[in-house]
Amino acid sequence: MKANPAMMAAIEAPNLSFAWLEHGFGLRDSTPPPALTTVKQIHSARVLDACGRKGEQIGEGDAIISAEPGVAIAVRTADCVPILIADSRTRMIACVHAGWRGTAANIVGATIREMQSRGSRAEDLSVAIGPSIGSCCYEVGPDVAQHFQAWRPDATALDVRLDLPAINEAQLREAGVRQIWKSGECTYCRPDRFYSFRREKEQAGRMLSFVNRVA
Ligand SMILES: [Zn+2]
């Protein structure tokens, strides 16, 4: 089947436009590149190193780091927050799947720490926060809200609207990252562009967001 090229382009972040890097946040109709390295996502704060393994599922976790050229790493989302990271100095890359559990566990902060332990500096990192469910559509009950009291000092109401991209951005700033781009698009608001687990329930597909060091 020949795909329509107009429907294939994933969303690109302006702060990741390096000549040595390919990346994209998937749309419901975009075609991801072949041979992606992925993880079995378990809503944890577990970060795995791809260790050069191409096109494999490398284990259970919710973030992947890769230092080797030619290993395209990816996460799957439908409302959760996809995050892509590139180190402009060392060319190390990472991708993160941050739903509410991963965000409560600060998985993006754990990923930055892992990159720093491999020689990255926060000031060299460019981070792109992709489309996810927005605070416009993400009302949660006290069972979820209680995990975010540190990020939501006003969360005394029974129900609050969680802004997962904003919390991930705050966690990145806390880790010393300054070059941050946020898509701002809400997956629930745009059924024409995105799958949404909250909107489509079990029928929801998943968008693949990837990053690949090509040189
Ligand atoms: Zn929305």
Residue 3 has pLDDT above 50, yes or no: no
pLDDT at 123: 98
Q: Would 141 be classed as within a structural domain?
A: no
Confidence of residue 148 (pLDDT cuts 50, 70, 90): confident
pLDDT more than 70, % of the chain: 93
Cα(75) to centroid of ligand 1, in Å?
21
Q: What is the mean pLDDT of the chain?
A: 93
Average pLDDT for 144-162: 75
Q: Would 29 be classed as within a structural domain?
A: yes
Q: Return the closest-CA partner of residue 103 out of 192, 164, 153, 49.
A: 164
Q: What is the pLDDT of residues 100-135, one digit of tens each?
A: 999 999 999 999 999 999 999 999 999 999 999 999
Q: Would 5 be classed as within a structural domain?
A: no
Domain count, the chain: 1
Q: Would 156 be classed as within a structural domain?
A: no
Cα(157) to centroid of ligand 1, in Å?
20
Confidence of residue 6 (pLDDT cuts 50, 70, 90): very low
pLDDT at 87: 98
Greater pLDDT, 147 or 127: 127
- Check if the beta carbon of residue 59 is closer than 8 Å to that of residue 42: no
Average pLDDT for 59-88: 97
Average pLDDT for 22-26: 97
180: β partners:
127
Q: Would 77 be classed as within a structural domain?
A: yes
Residue 141 has pLDDT above 80, yes or no: yes
Element (H, E) at 108: helix 107-117
Cα(12) to centroid of ligand 1, in Å?
20
Q: What is the CA radius of gyration of the chain?
A: 16
Greater pLDDT, 155 or 127: 127
Is the dihedral angle over the CA atoms 115, 119, 120, 122 positive or is it negative?
Answer: positive
Contacts of 156 (CB under 8 A, 6+ apart): none
Q: Would 148 be classed as within a structural domain?
A: no
Cα–Cα distance, 114 to 109 (Å, whole number): 9
Cα(118) to centroid of ligand 1, in Å?
37
Cα(33) to centroid of ligand 1, in Å?
28
Cα(135) to centroid of ligand 1, in Å?
7
Q: Would 92 be classed as within a structural domain?
A: yes
pLDDT at 129: 98
Give the domain CATH number at 111: 3.60.140.10
Q: Would 142 be classed as within a structural domain?
A: no
Domain range enclosing 31: 11-134+163-213
Q: What is the pLDDT of residues 193-208, one digit of tens each?
A: 999 999 999 998 999 9
